[in-house]
Amino acid sequence: MITIDYKSRKPIYEQIIENVKQLIIAGVLQRDEQLPPVRQLALELTINPNTIQKAYAELERQGIIYSLKGKGSYVGSSLHELSQVQKDQLFQELDQLCIGLMRLQISADEVCQQVQKSYQKDKGVGQ
């Protein structure tokens, strides 16, 4: 459900944060549903529990999830414009990327074709 890119420059704990947010937006994780326990997720991803803990702590600080000591972590309520913020962030990254692509004399059309290809390839992955 949650995938990590170990080669990425983005810290693992931030990747987890992004992942959880997206899963909530996509409706995979519902309101008040329990998140995978820290240790279990650590085992699944073969990552140190502290790293998961850091991600969950930040999610709680943002009001995205809430934690009950000794019980677990759960999807919270304050998710209003989560989706829009995420989208803006990704579109901003896309913008940066396009600057680089332009400099390589790559046409917008070719980029779009590549986008279509990515969508085909990953179809069904996030569902």
Quick one: which segment of 36-44, 73-81, 100-108 binds a second copy (CB under 8 A)? Answer: 100-108
Q: Name the nearest CA neighbour of 3 among 92, 119, 91, 18.
A: 18
Does residue 59 touch DNA according to CB under 7 A?
no
**What type of residue sits at position 118?**
S
* Cα distances (angstroms) measured from residue 78 to each of 18, 29, 48, 52, 75: 16, 14, 28, 21, 9
Give yes or no for residue 26 binding a second copy (CB under 8 A).
Answer: yes
Report if residue 61 touches DNA, rule: CB under 7 A. Answer: no
Start-end of H helices in the chain:
12-25, 38-44, 49-61, 82-103, 108-122
Question: Which residue has 């790559």 as its token pair?
Answer: 106
Site membership for DNA, residue 75 (CB under 7 A):
no
Catalog residues that contact a second copy under the rule CB under 8 A: 5, 8-10, 18, 22-23, 25-26, 83, 86-87, 90-91, 93-106, 108, 111-112, 114-116, 118-119, 121-123, 125-126
Catalog residues that contact DNA under the rule CB under 7 A: 10-14, 35, 37-40, 47-51, 53-54, 56-57, 60, 67-73
